[in-house]
Amino acid sequence: MTDLLIIGGGITGQVAALTAAEAGARVTIVDAERNAGSHANAGSLHVQMQSRFLRLNPHLAENLESSLPLYLSAVTEWEALDARLGGVELTREGGLMLAESAAQLDFLHEKAAREARKGLDVEILDRDALHRIAPWLSPRIQGAELCRNEGKLNPLVANRKMRALLDGLGVRFVHDRITRIEDGAQPVAEGGERYRADRILVAAAWGAAALAGPLGLRIETPPEPLHMNITEAGDYRIHHLVQHAERPITLKQFRSGQVVIGGGWEASLADRDGHAPRIRKPSLLGNVALAAQIAPGIGGLRVLRTWAGYNTPVDGKATIGPAGPDSRVFLALPGDAGYTLGPVTGRSAAAMAIGSTPPIDPAPFDPARWRA
């Protein structure tokens, strides 16, 4: 018997476990250890609205915009976690969203005005101001939005230190794939084994839809396979998290000098045997070529590794709280940018599950919106 059974062992589930274990609860994490987004993440701390999400999901723009205060809370949560873990190479020198045309700058002006009304620290930089703080950029870049709230971290360090901390707190990890949940006075989760708990918390990202359906929640969590690359080390010059107003690119550089390149280039879905999503050659070539156009100085660096992982954008809004009014099953699902929002989402849901006060107001993220 366990006090809190957490389904999903990514950053969301792990921070939920940390919250409950430090409050004295007995915690078990059950994870399928298959295609986990947290273990394929590139370490971006997103705050400003990503142009890619707005382009692909214009009908969900309002959800994303209304969630901006949660993103601010998420970065504060990451700073606290960075201190708790003894450092995960977290820096907050801001994020740049680049523009190559007047039309793209107009888009950024409008977006920045909306974000400023939600409390973000944003500024539009003209060409000269931008190139003074980022001289490594291509001359073709005409300006940018600077969001001073954004940052980056090293997910390999964060994931390793989180696991060590949870092991030290006695959190139990079980490798299993949960296929069904029974809600009730003593909820049950079934997979290869049958698990009973006082409370169950679902933090399974793209796997949450199948589990939530029998609870009366029609959540859409389709896995989105995306491509990423990392280069050999170069001079540490790219201090910002870098995105583009229209083109699919993200750039960040670790303190080691390695450059991580991503930005929404497609990978292929995993096969039925559960292998990782597969790399697509056009994405590899297109992604690194675009990165070299934007930052010519990295063009000579060799790509050491390329991989793919699952993003779970849902509807642009987190889902935090109990599955129903009297339910003992709780949900902790970031709406997008799962690694950024994972800690604040996990801690908030776990706090509700153990009867303590969450760090944010969970009302806007109530699972009730998914009820049939």
Q: Which pLDDT value is given to residue 43?
A: 86
Low-confidence ranges of the chain (pLDDT < 70): 35-40, 271-275
* Cα 39 to Cα 117: distance, rounded to the nearest angstrom: 34
Q: Which pLDDT value is given to residue 55?
A: 86
pLDDT in tens, 315-328: 999 999 999 999 99
What element of type H or E holds 64?
A: helix 61-66
* Cα 201 to Cα 46: distance, rounded to the nearest angstrom: 25
Q: In CATH, which of 3.50.50.60, 1.10.10.10, 3.30.230.10, 2.60.120.380 is domain 2-39+156-221+315-370?
A: 3.50.50.60
Distance, C-alpha 11 to centroid of its chain: 9
Q: Which pLDDT value is given to residue 98?
A: 98
User: What token pair was written down for 360?
Assistant: 């944010």
CA distances from 269 to 177, 221, 272, 283 (A): 19, 14, 9, 14
Does domain 95-148+224-311 bear CATH number 3.30.9.10?
yes
Q: Are 151 and 75 spatial neighbours (Cβ–Cβ below 8 Å)?
A: yes
Q: Which pLDDT value is given to residue 198?
A: 97
* Cα 95 to Cα 271: distance, rounded to the nearest angstrom: 35
Q: Specify whether the backbone of 340 is left (phi greater than 0), alpha (psi in -120 to 50) or beta.
A: alpha
Domain boundaries, the chain: 2-39+156-221+315-370, 95-148+224-311
* Cα 239 to Cα 330: distance, rounded to the nearest angstrom: 38
Q: Are 67 and 118 spatial neighbours (Cβ–Cβ below 8 Å)?
A: no
pLDDT in tens, 260-305: 999 889 988 876 555 678 889 999 999 999 999 999 999 999 999 9
